[in-house]
Amino acid sequence: MVKDLRTEVETSDTAGVLDGDLDAFMGAALAQRVGETRGSTVD
């Protein structure tokens, strides 16, 4: 099991992650960052 504690994404495909299949993790991290910037205000 591979888990990203920041985004709470997890997968049981450990071989895939070690081979570079990180799309789910990168997508969740980017979505989290977009959510943070949409709620902020610029003064």
CA 41 – CA 12 distance, rounded (Å): 38
Closest by alpha carbon to 7, among 37, 38, 24? Answer: 24
Burial category of 36 from C-beta neighbours within 10 Å (exposed 0-12, middle 13-18, buried 19 and up)? exposed
pLDDT in tens, the chain (43 residues): 999 999 999 999 999 999 999 999 999 999 999 987 766 555 5
Residue written as token pair 């504690």: 5
pTM of the model: 0.75
